[in-house]
A = this chain, B = another copy of it.
Amino acid sequence: MALSRTRIVDAAYTTLCEHGLAGLSMRRLAHDLGVQPGALYYHVASKQDLLAGVAERILADSAKLTSTSDPARAACDLREALLRVRDSADVISFVHVFRPDALTPFHTLRELFAARLPARQAHRAAQTLICYVLGFVAEEQNYAELVRAKIVNDRPSDTYSLSAFRFGVATILRGLST
C-alpha cells in the first residue's frame, strides 16, 4: 500500500499508544511502515507537523462523546479520551498553542460557556478549565510513565484519581457561577 499522510498519522497514533512519546521516532515509524526514513518527509513537513496530526486524531475521538451541555461532564470526557493515549496531554498542550482553533473540544467548551457568560469571560472560563485538565492529566500520565518504567512503585495513592480530578473541576465551576 502506498504511503500517505493519513497512514503515517495512523501509525504514529498506534506507536504512541503502545510505546509512549519516548518510543515515537521518525526512524522507528519508517521501519514499521517498511520504508526509508526520508520517505516520510515527502508526506509530512516535520515531526512537529506529524504530532499536530496525531493530536487532532486523539481529540476527534473525544468530540464524538462530548455532545453534552454539562461542562463538568465534558471535562471528564476529555480526560478519558486523553487517558486512552500515553503522553497525550504533552502532545495536545503543544498543539493547543500551535493551532488553537484546530482542537474542537476547546472550541466546544468555549461555546458552552458562551451560553451563560459574556464572550470575553467565556473565553477565559474555557481557558481556565482547559489549563487545569491538561495540567492534571499531564501529571497523571507522567506518573503512569514512571510507574511503567518502575522508577517509582505504584503506591495506590489517591492523588491521581477520578475523584481528585472532579474536585478541581467542581471547584472551578463553582468559582465561575458566582
Chain A contact residues: helix, strand, loop or mixed: helix
Residues of B within 8 A of A152 (CB): 97-98
In the bound complex, CA of A97 to CA of B171 (Å):
22
Interface residues of A in 79-95 (CB under 8 A from B): 90, 93-94
Interface residues of A in 134-165 (CB under 8 A from B): 134-136, 138-139, 142-143, 146, 151-152, 159, 164
Q: Are A125 and B159 in contact (CB under 8 A)?
A: no
In the bound complex, CA of A178 to CA of B174 (Å):
8
A68 near B: Cβ within 8 Å? Answer: no
A69 near B: Cβ within 8 Å? Answer: no
Q: Are B97 and A151 in contact (CB under 8 A)?
A: no
Residues of B within 8 A of A127 (CB): 159, 164, 168
**7 cross-chain pairs, A with B, having the tightest CB-CB distances, nearest first:** A135-B135, A175-B175, A131-B135, A171-B175, A128-B168, A174-B175, A97-B143
* A-B contacts besides A98-B146, A134-B138, A174-B174, 15 pairs, CB < 8 Å: A90-B90, A93-B135, A97-B139, A98-B142, A98-B152, A128-B168, A128-B172, A132-B135, A132-B168, A132-B172, A134-B139, A171-B172, A171-B176, A172-B175, A175-B175
